[in-house]
Structure 1
Amino acid sequence: MTGADPALPADLFGAGRPDRALRVVHALASARLRWSALTHRQAPVTAAYADRLPLILARREQVADDVVALTFRAPDGGRLPRWHPGAHLDLELPSGRFRQYSLCGDPDDRRAYRIAVRRIDGGAGGSLELHESVPAGGSLVARGPRNAFPFAVPGFGSPARRLLFVAGGIGITPILPMLRLADRLGADWSLTYTGRSRESLPFRAELARHGSRVRIRTDDRDGLPDAAALLPGLASGTAVYCCGPTGLTDTVLAATRTLSGVELHVERFGPAPVRDGVPFELELARTGEVRTVPADRSALDVLLAARPDRLYSCRQGFCRTCVTRVLAGEPDHRDGALTPAERAAGAMLPCVSRADGGRLVLDV
């Protein structure tokens, strides 16, 4: 193929030229990145990601005791922006909240986006809105899709010889499209799928077609899993893709941190613990109120205690929903989304960024 990279196949989704996203993944793998968690630096959000994408809820399906799968379509039934395994949508909920949900449908289906949402009664309310306040035929606005959890198949962008997937509960959602693609390409893969009980695990019937490649273990029958249970047969030449609660991802990270020849790719449900933090102060300029941010808490946590109506979403420094203007003080920027020009103009993401002591004055 004229001008094509011989190391890359034609577009895995049907086009006649190498896929741009796959080129990006290939470049990352060539650089031998071992850790591509959401908390690491991402490219700045582009104008395309900021575009408002209207969607209509076409189908609602109960896929576990407290999980619904939601299928969205364009209002005119037309084609939706392309996406690749690991991608997610930013949904603007009726309340104005923004939340991220992984796409778990078929990337080849350009007329539908599918997500799954677990109901969390004691949470911040986002899941309850999607369970209770958006009926079939209702409309929402999305931004994206975008991908902070890119997938590279062995032989097509990854030097690994084997794939090991680890999913905890609703963490199966970004993994599902990866499994389909790995299966289509004949990759050597297996999945460890864990949760509270079988009834709490969505998409079990969909996974059943993969047979013994999928190992399901639940806390009520098997007890809490350790690293050996989560990572059976882990050896050099394996790429691990893990998505789930912090306890699960921390266990997998600890088990693979020092292993040679093992790639680890992680997507977390929530924010990573604060590392190397020191206490500092926030001054809210509009009222003069001063609040202390402890060494082990985020500025966003403290800001929300004073201003519960502040918008936020990912809490991991990539979605930009919580962006706040700094009027005075020197932030310690720890995000991967803001450009140098935005930082110079005073923008800060308080979900991850902080200060090395002293005080930040915020335009709040």
Structure 2
Amino acid sequence: MKLAKAGLVALTVAVSSVSFAAKKVQVFPGYISHGINVYNGELIADYSSTSPGVEWLFEAPREIGVFIEGAPEGTDGGVITAETDRSLPVATTRDFLDFFNPGGEIDLSLLNVPLDQIGSNFFGFTAVDDRIIPPSFDTVEEDPEVYRSAGVNAAPTVGDWEKARGVMTAVVHKDGTSTVRITLRDAFPNAVFTLWDIGSSRPLSDTEEGYAVPLGGIPNVVRTDANGCVFREVELPYDITRACELGAGSCTSYVAGFYHWDGQAYGASPAATFANAPGGVYAGNQMVWPVNGELLQEPATRFGKPIHGCRTPRRSFFKY
């Protein structure tokens, strides 16, 4: 059942701070995601009235699955549903690849494996799926242990994936630009994310097509702290809350928090080359902030008050 229009669910509040004083702030709740516009195998939002020509918003390819123990090599990760045991590990899937490039080549040994088993590119690699697990220096002559920051890629379960909380706020200025602030909390610690504006060019027209652009431009990479928190503010040369209407040049469907579980970013594309797609194998949407469309679900987690910022052990700081 449809709940409400995303832009209407986004509260309009007045916030007292130096930069946002006496300005109207639209607040957009974050939605845990298992792929493009999908959670528990169901659509997060219905974009049929705003971006009917953007196929991926409706087909909603998965970017994570659930680990199927004992399955043959090359088996796809299982579909996560409301009935899935949340203590099972998150696993890789090729659903994203099959949607965008059916039959595309990929290393089948990378499918249906827990996220901590995905290595990284290394010096001399020739393709995105040339992977290696970097050993720590003190174990290089023994059975290698993963050489990563503490807490990163610790074989997360479905339940771990779904602990993250997020909020996005936007202020639209008189000149048509906007200030966007995003906070993600309780995500994976010391983890690499990229932020993306996902939307539609020429909405509702015969030539409508989808787009994905780095939010605020390059660099759009952020890293969570030891508590799984990150805050980012960006200035956009456009109104991110602009309506999807006939005659508009473009409109934003949602903003994506794209988690790179291999700890690497892929330039100005969230998917590198589709033939060796990171989507579902090396990275995937963990949280989305719908801006337009009709919401079909409640957020899986609640952020609480729309207060931005992270807390450190030595001092607390919050940005409004």
The two structures have a TM-score, normalised by structure 1, of 0.20
RCO higher in structure (CA 8 A, sep ≥6): 2
Q: Which protein has the larger Cα radius of gyration, Structure 1 or Structure 2?
A: 1
The two structures have a TM-score, normalised by structure 2, of 0.22
Greater helix fraction, Structure 1 or Structure 2: 1
